[in-house]
Structure 1
Amino acid sequence: MSGTKTGGIKAAKTNKKRYGKGFYRKIGAMGGKSSRGGGFGSELRGKDGMTGYERARVAGAKGGKTSRKTNENY
């Protein structure tokens, strides 16, 4: 049943039973602490001089342009 809602509920139940009620809170906190503040949501300027939002905009434009290259008769 992996990959189904029922399987996910059973897995969550098992994890909480094995590792305690705060299992998901603990692993979420670990991820948050290891984060270095970067990513597309960041307002900090990176080495390229852009904020995360600006970088996401450029990346999205590249992806959109690539996906429209299928018909060269435009």
Structure 2
Amino acid sequence: MAGTKAGGQKAAAKNLAKNPNFYAEIGRKGGKLGRTGGFAANPELARIAGAKGGRISRRRKTEDK
């Protein structure tokens, strides 16, 4: 593990010399291992949650003038 900028550059060069796709493979793995879900994966769930939030709003009701 590199402790300086120069060491990091040497490590990056060595990684690329051993495997030209080193950083692409790391990025691909990171993208696959994501566990996001919830509202990003289910717009209907987001709509229901927004409706619930609107029903229990903490704001005062506006008065007619």
**TM-score, with length taken from structure 1:** 0.46
> Hey, what does 2:2 align to over in structure 1?
2
Distance 2:34 2:3 in 1: 27
**TM-score, with length taken from structure 2:** 0.51
Question: Is 1:36–2:35 an aligned residue pair?
Answer: yes
Count of residues in correspondence between the two structures: 42
- Runs of 4+ residues deviating >4 angstroms: none
Distance 1:23 1:2 in 2: 17
Larger Rg: 2
- How much does 1:43 deviate? 4.5
Deviations 1:14-33 (A, max 9, x none): 0000012x210111110110
Distance 2:7 2:39 in 1: 38
Identity over aligned pairs, percent: 47
Structure with greater proportional helix content: 2
> Hey, what does 2:15 align to over in structure 1?
15
RMSD between aligned residues: 2.6
Gaps of 5+ in 2: 41-65
Distance 2:23 2:39 in 1: 28
